[in-house]
Amino acid sequence: MLLFALLLAVLPKLCPAQALSTPELIKKAKSYLEQDQPDSAQWFFNKAIQQAKLKRQHQLQLDAGLGLAESCFYIGDYARAKDQLEISANLAQSRADRPHLLLAWLKHAEVHFIEGSWPEAESLLANLEKKANPAQDQATLAHAYNLWAKISSQQGQLNQANFYLKKGKNLAQQLPDKTLAIELLTQLATNYKNQDGALVQAQVYLEELIALRAKTQDQHNLIGDHQELADLLQQTGDHPEAQAHRLKALKLAESIRDSLQQMELLYSLGLAYRQQNQLQSSNAYLNRSLKLALMKNNTFKAAEIQRCLGENQAQIGKRADAQQWYQKAQQGFSSIGNDLEVGRTLVLFQQVDSSRKALTYFGKALQSKISNGEILGEVETRLDMARIQIDLKDAAGALRSLQPCAEQAQTAGSREQLLAIWDNLARAHALQGNFNAAYTFAKRHQHLKDSIFNLEQTRIISEMNARFDNVALRDSLQQTEIARNRAELRQKNLLNYLLGGALLAGALIAFLLFQNYRSSVEQRVQAERMAALEKQREAEQLRSMINGEEQERKRIAQELHDGLGTLLATVKLQFNAVQNERPDIDSVKAYQKADSLLDEACTEVRKISYNLMPAILQQYGLEYALQDLCEGINRSGRLEVSFIPYGLDYAFDDQTAISVYRIVQELVKNTLRHAEARELIVQLSVEDEALNIVVEDDGQGFDPAEKLQNPGIGLQSIQSRLALLGGKMEVESSPQAGATFTMDIPLEPKND
């Protein structure tokens, strides 16, 4: 073995390298690198560098130098890789060889990224971006943006990462090789899928990815993309479109004869149709999936499908057929020793004997979960046991099963499990007659439930508005609840009096006083909740009004672009046709004037459409959109605008981003119309979980008190948007001394 290794090490030196040209040496080195032989590759790269120096073949010397750096990077020799990259970069700069210089910077940034030196990597990428020509260096620049996105993701700057991914994607899509474009689209879809309230954006990028993947005929990955898009569409409630993508995935799986994918897709289709209560279609797909599962000897999947078929039969009242399917499922799970699923199947029989037998299987499964340290699995199994014990009126057994669950669920951070635990503890204590404990756990359950559903504020507010349509109804319900509590209290007090006698009477009086005190506290809390709900309702009305305004802007912008814009473009084409037929018409002044006015009209329509709904805001984010707004005004020559952003890598939600954009847009517009200013400063910064906006001009100024007392439509719009965002504004100005608008908007803390 030692002799063989030595032979491999000296073999390149024994080759007649002197007879090879420099390109052949480089080709041979790359071949060794592809064959996982970096030592041999380095020898040939070094030989190529020496030969290129002697023959003054500068480009080949750079190619070989970058190859040598890559081979060093390959074996983890980062120090030598960086040294070689610096040599290559210096040579490329001295030769004004931009492509090789950019490649050297990119590879150097990759080394810094691997080492965790992110500032150094970003500095190199910034130099690369400034030096690159987007039309000629597309591949290098696209790879640079991909690396920049990875650095931003590592730093927790998801919005910034998405910004670079989009820029890289736009360049990569123009390259013949679509591999990088697919990688960037995949990452964009993943980022937005994991971001709250961004499922629609994730769907858009998945659709782009599917279209691109279809061109590359990558069938296996295309199946997975269709499945992922179907799942997202299902979450947003678009069931027909979700089914369409599952069917496309199924057709692809059938075309490449992937029976495993077919089985899973048929099962997914069966479950989806079941959720839509289309049981006939559900049964058809489940039966097809079952045939494949049996053919593949996948016992677990077959039993899972048989149980679903049984539940479908039970749903239409065919209990006998359902139990036959349950029996088959039970036998399947038993044959592979899956006690948990055997127990869950036995519960579906809805018979006392089956339920008691299920407890035995759950007990075995519980011991297995405890032995394996599966905390969440243990909690879920205990919950399954407790539900059966409660149904069997075994309150003590249910309490024993649930005893350690709350602490385990809290440790694991499972709010849904904790919700089920509080509910079952309340039911078990109520079954025992321990109503005080039942009430305590019921309150915990309700409090946690309110906390979970607080994320769906719009739905909650609408439901509360429906329940509390006016103040009188709210007061009536409140008094009814108080009266019910007092009636229950009187009944409980009477029972305690009859059973406890004189000794318990004193305790009863104390208990009554405590309950009266608690009732008064609850009344105050209830009143505060009603006030908060009223405030939320007003905020929702304001949000709806602003959203409606934005939707109308979007609609008008679309109609201008697609309707009037298209019509003007058609008229322009007709003008060109007339010019082609009558070349001498250019000399007619009326024609020249009409042609000029038509160009102005086209430009004006585009400008109005863009101002109504700037696409750049949705595509590249708030910072990029405001930069574009300010640069557009600078180009017009009407005003010199300085845009100063700081910390805008915060992941603004769509509502905040568009509101902030509209606020700045309105202030800039007012400056242009009324201030007679020469300079304007627009500064935005994110610090201490707040967005600070400062817009300052050197114009003629005004009286702030009078302006705020009688605001125009523009200032009213700014105040409404600030109120919706929970922000505040201060205005400093005086005649001939300019004006400064300062706004502070609170932001949600970052999830590090």
CB 602 within 8 A of CB 572: yes
359/388 Cα distance (integer angstroms) = 8
The predicted structure's pLDDT at residue 36: 87
CB 662 within 8 A of CB 625: no
The predicted structure's pLDDT at residue 468: 37
Sign of CA dihedral 671, 675, 676, 678: negative
pLDDT in tens, 218-273: 888 888 888 888 888 888 778 888 888 888 888 988 888 888 989 998 998 898 88
432/150 Cα distance (integer angstroms) = 57
Mapped onto helix, strand or coil, the DSSP state of residue 741 is strand
521 plus 544 within the same structural domain = yes
Residue 297 scores a pLDDT above 90:
yes
Total of domains in the chain: 3
Mean pLDDT over 204-211 rounds to 88
Question: Which range is most confident: 3-17, 86-100, 455-469?
Answer: 86-100
The predicted structure's pLDDT at residue 311: 92
622 plus 733 within the same structural domain = yes
| Of 113 and 456, more confident | 113
Would residue 482 count as lying in a domain? Answer: yes
CA distances 65 to 26, 101, 120, Å, are 10, 12, 21
Cβ neighbour number for residue 371 with a 10 Å cutoff: 9
Residue 166 scores a pLDDT above 80:
yes
Q: Please choose, from the candidates 500, 533, 528, 496, the residue with its C-alpha nearest in 3D space to the C-alpha of residue 515.
A: 496
Q: Which of 454, 483, 499 is the last residue in one of the domains?
A: 454
Tell me which residue has tokens 């400034």. 130
Would residue 442 count as lying in a domain? Answer: yes
Query: Which of 107-121, 484-498, 671-685 has the lowest average pLDDT?
Result: 484-498
Would residue 626 count as lying in a domain? Answer: yes
Would residue 588 count as lying in a domain? Answer: no
658 plus 564 within the same structural domain = no
Residue 471 scores a pLDDT above 90:
no
pLDDT in tens, 134-148: 888 999 999 999 999
What whole-number percentage of the chain has pLDDT above 90?
15
For the question of whether the overall pTM of this predicted structure is more than 0.75, the answer is no
∠ CA 64-70-72, nearest 5°, is 105
Would residue 586 count as lying in a domain? Answer: no
The domain in which residue 408 lies consists of: 338-454
Mean pLDDT over 83-95 rounds to 89
654/613 Cα distance (integer angstroms) = 13
Grade residue 194 by pLDDT with cuts at 50, 70 and 90.
Answer: confident
The predicted structure's pLDDT at residue 466: 32
The predicted structure's pLDDT at residue 303: 94
∠ CA 524-530-532, nearest 5°, is 105
The predicted structure's pLDDT at residue 6: 44
654 plus 568 within the same structural domain = no
CB 462 within 8 A of CB 436: no
Residue 412 in tokens: 């694991």
The predicted structure's pLDDT at residue 544: 57
What one-letter code names the amino acid at 470?
Answer: N
∠ CA 36-42-48, nearest 5°, is 130
The predicted structure's pLDDT at residue 150: 92
Mean pLDDT over 593-614 rounds to 60
Q: Which of 419, 454, 489 is the last residue in one of the domains?
A: 454
What one-letter code names the amino acid at 74?
Answer: Y
Cβ neighbour number for residue 157 with a 10 Å cutoff: 19
| Of 392 and 18, more confident | 392
The predicted structure's pLDDT at residue 321: 92
606/614 Cα distance (integer angstroms) = 11
Residue 428 sits in a domain whose CATH number is: 1.25.40.10
End-to-end CA, the chain: 51
Query: Which of 107-111, 217-221, 326-330 has the lowest average pLDDT?
Result: 217-221
What whole-number percentage of the chain has pLDDT above 70?
75
Residue 542 scores a pLDDT above 50:
yes
What one-letter code names the amino acid at 198?
Answer: A
Which of the 8 DSSP states describes residue 638?
S
471 plus 434 within the same structural domain = no
| Of 313 and 504, more confident | 313
Q: Which helix (H) or strand (E) holds 744?
A: strand 739-746
Residue 328 scores a pLDDT above 90:
yes
Query: Which of 8-17, 309-318, 359-368, 507-516 has the lowest average pLDDT?
Result: 8-17
Residue 689 in tokens: 């979980």
| Of 183 and 12, more confident | 183
539 plus 649 within the same structural domain = no
Residue 481 scores a pLDDT above 50:
no
Residue 368 CB contacts under 8 Å (≥ 6 apart), including other chains: 339
The predicted structure's pLDDT at residue 457: 43
Would residue 56 count as lying in a domain? Answer: no
432 plus 400 within the same structural domain = yes
Question: Which range is most confident: 465-474, 494-503, 582-591, 687-696?
Answer: 687-696
CA distances 481 to 434, 444, 463, Å, are 22, 19, 18
